[in-house]
Amino acid sequence: MTRKLNTNRYLDYNASAPIRPNVISAMQEAMHLVGNPSSVHKHGREVSKSLAEARDILTETVGAKNSRVIFTSGGTESNNLALHGRKIGTTMVSDIEHDSVLFAADAQHRISVNLDGVVDLTRFEEIFSRRTSPSLISVMLANNETGVIQPLHEISSIAHHHGCLVHCDGVQALGKMDINMSDLGVDLLSLSAHKIGGPKGVGALIISDNVKIGPQLIGGGQEYSLRPGTENFISISGFAATLADIQAQAEEISRISTMRSNLENKLRKAFPDVEVFGRNSPRLINTTCVRMRGLPAETQVIALDLAGISVSAGSACSSGKVTTSHVLKAMGLSSAIANETIRISIGWGTTDDDIASATKAWIELQEKALLGDFLGEHQTT
């Protein structure tokens, strides 16, 4: 029996988006191709042709001229490949990067962000006047917790002026804003399928032809010998189908953007001083990072879950534990404030009804918390 896709009240798209129906069909179709893409016979060539088409869809989507697409298992692997694959010189990362950059980079330099969550360009430029200036920097295009978009074009111009390469984690930005790797001046770009309605466990690192990196795995010659092993062709087909589906849904971006505005406007109407972090910066159209006064984020997530609404604490990490968000701390917020903040993130399957329910539940919870009426528990430390 086939299970029905249930996107009801699911508002945690930045963690993982529900898979798109058209992607399921494309993957089912791909399962009917039998060959290994490295085989020279007809069956192999069929798969290899589809693989090449998937690569083309990716490069077209992100305006990647003269570059190689290396399919990986997702954003984490792409970030590791980019940062470990480049062994020359020193690395600099921003304070708000995803853990897969922060921990992979072994960075000798850090770039801070301002109160609005944007990289401080003046301090960034200053770092290049130091004796050991970086040879590789990594700055994400859009943050997973706040949705804040970084000025990658400016960052790349400064970095290139000093002979430094630019890696960009584009995992959260893909499919939610236009990306043009050439215009952004990015040399290496990490992507993942599951944040936008593709399958989990597939992604890509796009590398400009003039950039040389080494592999993390040793084996066959697949993926330019940078990621050996038979390609995860079914998921790769799903990744390509995801991008095609987004392109075909012309109204999707504005629909999501309107729903996010409705959500924030309703919260602001109920509580005029509600704090939405990153709201003064260019932001992804789907993300709201919002503080509920007087209630720990973990309690908010549980209470909303009981009301049937799935969101996450901005600070929930991969182990599921909630720690103080390094992103909000980097923006200068106290632990007390950061620990009262959750992330609401929406996407292709979200409806006006989901927004109405989530807003109602959030407002009721905030009212209770302010009255000190929430299970007698409304203390934050």
Note whether 72 binds ligand PLP by CB under 6 A: no
Closer residue to ligand PLP in complex, CB, 47/177: 177
Is 286 a binder of ligand PLP (CB under 6 A)? no
Instruction: Pick between residue 54 and residue 140 the one whose CB is nearest to ligand PLP.
Output: 140
**Helix residue spans in 181-249 (DSSP H):** 181-184, 233-248
Minimum distance between the CB of residue 98 and ligand PLP, rounded to whole angstroms? 4
Active site residue 317: yes
**Contact (CB, 8 A) for 135 and 89:** yes
**What contacts 325, CB < 8 A, 6 or more positions away?**
145, 313, 314, 315, 338, 341
The CA distance from 158 to 161, in Å, is 5
CA Rg value for the chain: 21
Q: Which is nearer to ligand PLP, 185 or 199 (CB)?
A: 199
Residue selected from 75, 199, 294, 347 as contacting ligand PLP according to rule CB under 6 A: 75
Residue with tokens 């991969």: 318
Min CB(44)–ligand PLP separation in Å: 28
Of 7, 50, 61, 76, the one binding ligand PLP by CB under 6 A:
76
Residue from 55, 58, 169, 204 touching ligand PLP (CB under 6 A): that is 169
Nearer to ligand PLP, 191 or 369 (CB): 191
Interface pick for ligand PLP out of 23, 171, 285, 361 (rule CB under 6 A): 171
Measure the CA–CA gap between 147 and 117, rounded to whole angstroms.
9
Span near ligand PLP by CB under 6 A; candidates 33-41, 105-113, 167-175, 229-237: 167-175
In this complex, which beta carbon is closest to ligand PLP, that of residue 174 or of residue 361? 174
Q: Is 55 in the site for ligand PLP (CB under 6 A)?
A: no
User: What is the size of the binding site for ligand PLP (CB under 6 A)?
Assistant: 13
CB nearer to ligand PLP: give 99 or 367.
Answer: 99
**Is 39 in a helix, a strand, or coil?**
coil
**Contact status, residue 63 vs residue 180, Cβ threshold 8 Å:** yes
Tell whether residue 242 is a contact of ligand PLP (CB under 6 A): no
Task: Please pick, from the candidates 80, 146, 172, 315, the single residue that binds ligand PLP as defined by CB under 6 A.
Answer: 172
| Binding track over 128-147 against ligand PLP, x by CB under 6 A | ------------x---x---
CA distances from 362 to 43, 323, 349 (A): 54, 22, 20
Cβ 45 vs Cβ 35: under 8 Å: yes
Location of structure tokens 């992103």: 327
227 binds ligand PLP (CB under 6 A): no
Q: Where are the alpha helices (DSSP H) in the chain?
A: 21-30, 42-61, 75-85, 99-105, 121-127, 152-161, 181-184, 233-248, 252-270, 297-306, 326-330, 335-338, 352-371
Q: Which is closer to ligand PLP, CB of 341 or CB of 359?
A: 341
In angstroms, the CA 307 to CA 139 distance is 37
Q: Figure out which of the listed residues 18, 74, 147, 349 binds ligand PLP, where binding follows CB under 6 A.
A: 74
Q: Give, as ranges, the residues between 185 and 214 that touch ligand PLP (CB under 6 A).
A: 192, 194, 203
CA distance 88 to 222: 24
Q: Shortest Cβ distance from residue 110 to ligand PLP (Å)?
A: 17
Question: In terms of DSSP bridges, do strands 312-313 and 188-192 run parallel, antiparallel, or are they unpaired?
Answer: unpaired
Q: Return the H-helix or E-strand segment holding 252.
A: helix 252-270
Helix (H, G, I), strand (E, B) or coil at 320: coil
Instruction: Give yes or no for residue 61 binding ligand PLP (CB under 6 A).
Output: no
Q: Which residues are catalytic?
A: 317
Site residues, ligand PLP (CB under 6 A): 74-76, 98, 100, 140, 144, 169, 171-172, 192, 194, 203
